[in-house]
């Protein structure tokens, strides 16, 4: 299997629920490619349309517009039972009238696989999810984590081309969730099946995914590796939803004349940072920049700082310390700024609340956000 061949192609898919006045656009013209053998995550707040997209890929909903291609074949109008796509449901949806083994063999039986093969696959799946001992148990005799494993085994048993996971870890407690995150990645590597994972937990998305698609209000905002999503957010929402971010409105900026897509940002004492930007970026209104709190340093010497302000709050978190700073502002509008500094063992300088400090950061850590998008 080629690493970069496309497993699922989502082409201009829109979904409208209801009609007329009460019509609701759940998904707005989404286009993306999900590659073979990829752990792909749809990330967004609840109600953003990520589950709708998942249900369209599974076949439970028909797209109002656009099409879904599975390995180049248009499956938009195939019913779920004719798609080589299986789902792990949020509620697991395990059959309560069947044992663990019967649940896992259900899909294989429906595919009319020979008895011998079913038996072999079921025992393989049971060992894959470490549930051999519990194969004759009924579903209500299992814990949440065990049910999760059975749901995974059941969906993986027919060897689908794509596995869909709908908020599958949301019902588990923190510790179990951490375990299952590792387990899911292991299963994805072991089976080589494309996983499409839906979550609203940005941390989960960052740690597990090969690539992430961030969705909000039915719109696909950005697709990229966790690194790209975190470090190069293209959108105000992406920057604020994934990790913590400081947003700054910059009123004095100018674009380079020779059109090499650089913006000059002016800071205190006429300090200028050169930041790459998009070609089509307009400067006719104020732009905003995003800086991650951990990319920022504090200095006592206000003269060399890009920004100055006063510390209003200090929180100690063991490995690092969080500072809340109120920036000096010419317009009189108070703006708070968050800084996260690592506590190195040899670090002697600690800042206290009420202290005046300077803020510095590097040009490459600045992300220019085009709010006009």
Residues near another protein (CB under 8 A) are 58-60, 79-82, 85-87, 89, 91, 93-97, 106-107, 110-111, 138-140, 154-155, 158
Helices (H) and strands (E) in the chain, counts: 8, 21
Closest contact distance (angstroms) between CB of 163 and another protein is: 11
For 5-21, b/e burial (b = at least 16 CB within 10 A) is ebbbbbbebbbeeeeee
Residue closer to another protein (CB basis): 59 or 218: 59
Residue closer to another protein (CB basis): 70 or 341: 70
Closest contact distance (angstroms) between CB of 132 and another protein is: 21
Residue 145: CB partners within 8 Å, gap ≥ 6? Answer: 172, 176, 179, 180
φ/ψ bin of 90: left (φ > 0), alpha (ψ from -120 to 50), beta (otherwise): alpha
Closest contact distance (angstroms) between CB of 65 and another protein is: 23
Residue closer to another protein (CB basis): 166 or 183: 166
Longest dimension (CA), the chain: 78
For residues 346 and 294, is the Cβ–Cβ distance under 8 A? no
For residues 7 and 70, is the Cβ–Cβ distance under 8 A? yes
Residue closer to another protein (CB basis): 141 or 249: 141
Residue closer to another protein (CB basis): 166 or 235: 166
Closest contact distance (angstroms) between CB of 13 and another protein is: 19
Measured in residues, the chain has a length of 373
Residue 340: CB partners within 8 Å, gap ≥ 6? Answer: 244, 293, 294, 296, 320, 321, 322, 323
Cα gap 181→171, rounded to integer Å: 13
Cα gap 81→298, rounded to integer Å: 59
Closest contact distance (angstroms) between CB of 27 and another protein is: 19
For residues 239 and 247, is the Cβ–Cβ distance under 8 A? yes
Closest contact distance (angstroms) between CB of 82 and another protein is: 8
Residue closer to another protein (CB basis): 80 or 145: 80
Number of other CB atoms surrounding residue 158 within 10 Å: 19
- Name the strand (E) or helix (H) holding 178: helix 174-191
Closest contact distance (angstroms) between CB of 58 and another protein is: 6
Closest contact distance (angstroms) between CB of 148 and another protein is: 14
Residue closer to another protein (CB basis): 158 or 226: 158
Residue closer to another protein (CB basis): 111 or 171: 111
């Amino acid at each position: 299997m080629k690493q970069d061949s496309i497993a699922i192609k989502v082409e201009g898919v829109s979904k409208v629920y209801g009609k007329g006045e009460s019509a609701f656009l759940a998904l707005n013209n989404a286009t993306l490619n999900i590659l073979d053998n990829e752990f792909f995550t749809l990330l967004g707040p609840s109600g953003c349309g990520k589950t709708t997209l998942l249900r369209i890929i599974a076949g439970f909903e028909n797209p109002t517009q656009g099409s879904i291609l599975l390995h180049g074949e248009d499956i938009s109008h195939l019913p779920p039972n004719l798609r080589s796509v299986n789902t792990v449901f949020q509620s697991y949806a395990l059959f309560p009238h069947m044992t663990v083994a019967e649940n896992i063999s259900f899909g294989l039986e429906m595919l009319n696989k020979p008895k011998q093969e079913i038996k072999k696959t079921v025992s393989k799946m049971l060992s894959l999810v470490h549930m051999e001992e519990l194969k004759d148990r009924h579903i209500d005799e299992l814990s949440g984590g065990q049910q999760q494993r059975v749901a995974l085994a059941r969906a993986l048993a027919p060897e689908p081309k794509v596995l869909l996971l709908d908020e599958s870890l949301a019902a588990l407690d923190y510790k179990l969730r951490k375990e299952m995150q590792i387990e899911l990645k292991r299963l994805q590597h072991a089976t080589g099946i494309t996983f499409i994972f839906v979550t609203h937990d940005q941390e989960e998305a960052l740690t597990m995914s090969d690539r992430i698609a961030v969705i909000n209000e039915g719109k696909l905002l950005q697709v990229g590796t966790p690194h790209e999503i975190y470090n190069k957010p293209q959108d105000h929402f992406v920057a604020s939803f994934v990790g913590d971010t400081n947003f700054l409105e910059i009123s004095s900026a100018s674009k380079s004349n020779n059109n090499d897509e650089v913006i000059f940002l002016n800071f205190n004492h006429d300090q200028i940072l050169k930041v790459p930007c998009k070609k089509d970026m307009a400067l006719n209104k104020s732009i905003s920049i995003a800086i991650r709190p951990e990319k920022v340093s504090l200095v006592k010497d206000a003269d060399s700082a890009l920004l100055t302000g006063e510390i209003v709050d200090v929180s100690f978190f063991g490995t690092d310390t969080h500072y809340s700073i109120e920036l000096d502002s010419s317009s009189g509008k108070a703006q708070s700024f968050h800084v996260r500094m690592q506590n190195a063992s040899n670090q002697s300088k600690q800042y206290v609340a009420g202290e005046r400090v300077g803020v510095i950061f590097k040009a490459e850590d600045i992300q220019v956000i085009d709010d006009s998008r």
